[in-house]
């Protein structure tokens, strides 16, 4: 009708599941293996937002183009420089690991993105991203981010024993896997320990850092814990199988969700993919790294994994191989079934 406003067609970027990662220093390979695990198992379109040092940008572009077209058509990627919108860039850059504080600025930089999954470079997906993406629907009206607890048991948790600053809940939260509703983050005024009224996310970051800088150990993760300590109603806590770390098995198995459902997202923090301390984590990393894209998943991924796991049964985490294998086995069956259905459907037309 004349004068009626037409709604523009939703751009393809909004139909994406947005995945962000920050890569600096020697994290190129680790980041590529993480992205590979995301593409291997997901059926929906992905939008990668890679924040990287300038020297890494051409390498990322080159490596991602080398992937077979059957996989590259499943995602689009954007590579951004490292930037901090408030405060001193050099201070932010040195906070904890190089560039890690970049994640705090995602709501400010990615202005057109509604929701986002942020992960550390040392994360591996063992099931489709859409499964964690669906948790966004479970947020109530005040929740705007989701993370897993830093530990399941307060008496052996880091924050509950050593933190010198406020933190969320009984054990704090781990920010290595963080689901964010950026639209809500941008429009919320957060309670804080700085001024009686609320502050926006961007207004709050630098003053908060200045106030607690001498008390924080884990950099940006500590700042997120402080923010959600003052705004607990804003956080959705998801269970440990969505951010499964060596801490969950090296002191005995203490992630019930992983025992029941299997590990959904593996987080090999403290460099365990690259040393001999946790062979189970290293085995998963190496098998996904070495998997030739177009090969059979069971033959070239699952069976090598099983045989590598046999060598780790003497270790604390290796004693519970089913925890690591359950979800990945389920996922591969699904991927295989989908391919068979697509293949049969394509042949059926002729």
**Could you report the per-residue pLDDT of 216-226, keeping only the tens digit for each?**
888 899 999 99
Which of 207, 238, 269 is where one domain is finished? Answer: 238
Task: Mark whether 170 and 271 lie in a shared domain.
Answer: no
Cα–Cα distance, 274 to 254 (Å, whole number): 24
344 or 224, which is more confident = 224
Residue 341 banded pLDDT, cuts 50, 70, 90:
confident
pLDDT at 95: 75
Indicate if 224 and 287 belong to the same structural domain.
no
Q: Which of 238, 265, 294 finishes a domain?
A: 238
- Tell me if 293 is assigned to some domain: yes
For residue 8, pLDDT over 60 is answered with no
- Over 50: is that where the pLDDT of 145 sits? yes
Helix (H, G, I), strand (E, B) or coil at 272: coil
Among 114, 180, 98, which residue's Cα sits nearest to residue 145?
180
Would you state the pLDDT for residue 347? 58
CATH of residue 218's domain is: 3.90.550.10
Cross-strand bridge partners of residue 236 = 146
Is the pLDDT confidence value at 12 over 50?
no
Shared domain for 226 and 248, answered yes or no, is no
> What's the CA gap between 26 and 20, in Å, rounded?
18
Shared domain for 210 and 280, answered yes or no, is no
Asked if residue 336 belongs to a domain, the reply is yes
Would residue 2 count as lying in a domain? no
Residue 9 lies in a domain: no
Tell which of 179, 212, 238 closes a domain.
238
Question: In the prediction, which pLDDT does 195 show?
Answer: 87
Is pLDDT at 109 greater than 60 in this prediction?
A: yes
pTM of the model: 0.92
- Read off φ and ψ for residue 337, nearest 5 degrees: -60, -40
Provide CB contacts within 8 A for 147, sequence distance 6+: 173, 174, 175, 177, 178, 179, 224, 235, 237, 238, 243
Query: How confident is residue 86, by pLDDT bands cut at 50, 70 and 90?
Result: confident
Same domain? 200 vs 310: no
CA distances to 62, 113, 181 from 7, in Å: 37, 18, 23
Instruction: Say whether both 317 and 332 belong to one domain.
Output: yes
Would you state the pLDDT for residue 5?
A: 37
- Those residues whose C-beta lies under 8 Å from the C-beta of residue 13, and which sit 6 or more positions away, are 47, 76, 112, 113
Domain count, the chain: 2
Q: How many CA atoms lie within 13 A of 280 on its CB side?
A: 25
Q: Is the pLDDT of residue 299 over 70?
A: yes
Confirm whether 258 is domain-assigned: yes
Counting other chains too, the contacts that 64-69 makes at CB distance below 8 Å and 24 or more residues apart are: 64/32, 64/35, 67/36, 67/39, 67/293, 68/293, 68/294
Q: How far apart are CA 306 and CA 64, in angstroms?
A: 28
Average pLDDT value over all residues in the chain: 90
**Are 178 and 313 part of one and the same domain?**
no
Domain span at 307: 241-345
Write out pLDDT tens, residues 112-127: 999 999 999 999 999 9
How many whole angstroms separate alpha carbon 99 and alpha carbon 93? 5
Half-sphere exposure of 48 (CA within 13 A, CB side): 26
Same domain, 179 and 298: no
What pLDDT was estimated at residue 187?
A: 97
Instruction: Kindly state whether residues 307 and 276 are assigned to the same domain.
Output: yes
1-20 average pLDDT score: 56
**149 and 203 belong to one structural domain:** yes
Confidence of residue 344 (pLDDT cuts 50, 70, 90): low
Q: How far is CA 53 from CA 25, 87, 92, 93, 135, in A?
A: 8, 19, 14, 11, 31
The neighbouring-strand residues paired with 116 are 180
Q: Which segments of 244-344 are extended strands (E)?
A: 265-267
pLDDT mean over 76-87: 91
Mean pLDDT calculated for residue range 309-324 = 92
């Amino acid at each position: 009708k004349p004068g009626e406003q037409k709604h523009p067609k939703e751009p393809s970027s909004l139909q994406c599941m947005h995945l962000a990662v920050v890569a600096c220093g020697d994290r190129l390979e680790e980041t590529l293996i993480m992205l590979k695990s995301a593409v291997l198992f997901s059926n929906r379109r992905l939008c990668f937002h890679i924040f990287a040092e300038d020297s890494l940008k051409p390498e990322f572009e080159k490596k991602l183009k080398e992937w077979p077209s059957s996989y590259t058509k499943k995602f689009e990627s954007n590579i951004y420089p490292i930037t901090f919108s408030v405060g001193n860039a050099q201070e932010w850059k040195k906070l904890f690991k190089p560039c890690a504080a970049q994640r705090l600025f995602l709501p400010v930089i990615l202005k057109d993105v509604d929701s986002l999954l942020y992960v550390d470079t040392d994360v591996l997906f063992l099931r489709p991203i859409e499964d964690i993406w669906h948790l966004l629907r479970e947020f109530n009206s005040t929740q705007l981010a989701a993370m897993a607890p830093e530990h399941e048991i307060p008496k052996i948790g880091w924050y509950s024993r050593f933190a010198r600053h406020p933190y969320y809940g009984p054990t704090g939260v781990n920010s290595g896997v963080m689901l964010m509703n950026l639209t809500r983050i941008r429009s919320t005024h957060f309670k804080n320990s700085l001024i009686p009224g609320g502050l926006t996310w961007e207004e709050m970051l630098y003053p908060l850092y200045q106030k607690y800088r001498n008390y924080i150990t884990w950099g940006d993760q500590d700042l997120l814990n402080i923010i959600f300590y003052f705004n607990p109603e804003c956080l959705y806590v998801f269970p440990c199988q969505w951010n499964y770390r060596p801490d969950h098995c090296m002191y005995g198995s203490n992630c019930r969700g992983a025992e029941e459902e299997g590990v959904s997202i593996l987080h090999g923090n403290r460099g365990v993919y690259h040393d001999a301390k946790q062979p189970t984590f290293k085995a998963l990393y190496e098998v996904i790294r070495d998997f030739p894209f177009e090969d059979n998943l069971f033959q070239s991924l699952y069976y090598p994994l099983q045989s590598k796991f046999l060598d780790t049964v003497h270790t604390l985490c290796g004693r519970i191989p089913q925890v690591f294998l359950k979800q990945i086995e389920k996922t591969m069956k699904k991927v295989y079934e989908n391919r068979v259905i697509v293949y049969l459907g394509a042949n059926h037309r002729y």
